[in-house]
Amino acid sequence: MYIVIVGCGRYGSLLADRLSCLGHSVVIIDRQKNAFKALSAEFSGFTITGDASELSVLHMAKIDAADCLLSMCNEDTLNLMVTQTAKFIFGVPKVIARVYKPSYESIFRKFGIEIISPIQLALEAFLQDLDLDRGPENEAQ
């Protein structure tokens, strides 16, 4: 698969590394050139320094040929703009956004954007691990 990743922070860089090692062709975009230092030596994809909310940067990443776009920034508005552009203007088949602030979750859903919310996932995992996800009755048993 040809995958475009926006944001080379903690999530973006790990994801890019993993997908690249699995043999996918990966292009990763970040505003800061320094951000790419987080990528491992095994990363064999391309890096683009630029603002993904600019069309010219998305064109540089060959967005119209992408099978998948993952927007992993720590700014919900940027993720919202990039994913909507990818999905509704360039028709990228698979588009997923990372949700940073939980208050934006319903907005992503309303705009038809698939999301992954690290905070929600962590929350669920904590609750499950504590076996407290079924309320106080469970605790009493």
* Rounded Cα–Cα distance for residues 29 and 98 (Å): 15
Count of residues interacting with other proteins (CB under 8 A): 22
Question: Could you say which residues in the range 46-105 bind other proteins, by CB under 8 A?
Answer: 53-56, 75-78, 80-82, 84-85, 88-89, 101, 103-104
CB of 104 to other proteins, least distance (A): 7
Is 119 an interacting residue with respect to other proteins (CB under 8 A)?
Answer: no
User: CA separation (Å) from 48 to 11, 13, 29, 70, 73?
Assistant: 17, 13, 5, 15, 15
Q: Of 7, 30, 36, 3, which is closest to residue 19 (Cα–Cα)?
A: 3
Q: How many CA atoms lie within 13 A of 141 on its CB side?
A: 7
Is 141 an interacting residue with respect to other proteins (CB under 8 A)?
Answer: no
Interface ranges with other proteins (CB under 8 A): 53-56, 75-78, 80-82, 84-85, 88-89, 101, 103-104, 106-107, 110-111
